[in-house]
Structure 1
Amino acid sequence: MLSVPSTLTAAKALFRGMAVTVRPFAEQPTLAEADPLMSELLHKEEKRQFEELQLIASENIASKAVLEVLGSALNNKYSEGYPGARYYGGNEFIDQIETTCQDRALELFGADPEEWGVNVYVYIYISGY
Structure 2
Amino acid sequence: MSISLAESDPEIMALCREEKERQKLGLELIASENFTSKAVLQALSSSFHNKYSEGQVGARYYGGTEIVDKMEALCKKRALALFGLDETEWGVNVQPYSGSPANFAIYTGLVGLHGRIMGLDLPDGGHLTHGYQAASGRKVGVFRCL
**TM-score, normalised to structure 1's length?**
0.72
Task: Identify the residue that residue 85 of structure 2 maps to in structure 1.
Answer: 111
Deviating above 6 A after TM superposition, structure 1's stretches of 4 or more consecutive aligned residues are none
Amino acid at match of 1:107: A
Equivalent position to 1:100, from 41, 62, 74: 74
Partner of 2:25: 51
* Identity value in percent: 55
For structure 1, the 5+ residue unaligned runs are 1-24
Residue correspondences, number: 99
| Alpha-carbon distance between aligned partners in 1 of 2:24 and 2:67, rounded to the nearest angstrom | 34
What is the identity, as a one-letter code, of the residue corresponding to 1:76?
N
Give the Cα–Cα distance (whole angstroms) in 2 for the partners of residues 69 and 114 of structure 1: 28
**Alignment deviations for residues 63-113 of structure 1 (CA, whole Å, 9 cap, x no partner):** 101100111111111111111111111111101100000000000011121
Deviations 1:19-68 (A, max 9, x none): xxxxxx4xx31111111110000000001111211122111101101100
What is the TM-score with the length of structure 2 in the denominator?
0.64
RMSD: 1.2
- Who is 2:58 aligned against? 84
* Letter paired with 1:31: L
Amino acid at match of 1:94: V
Which letter maps to 1:79? S
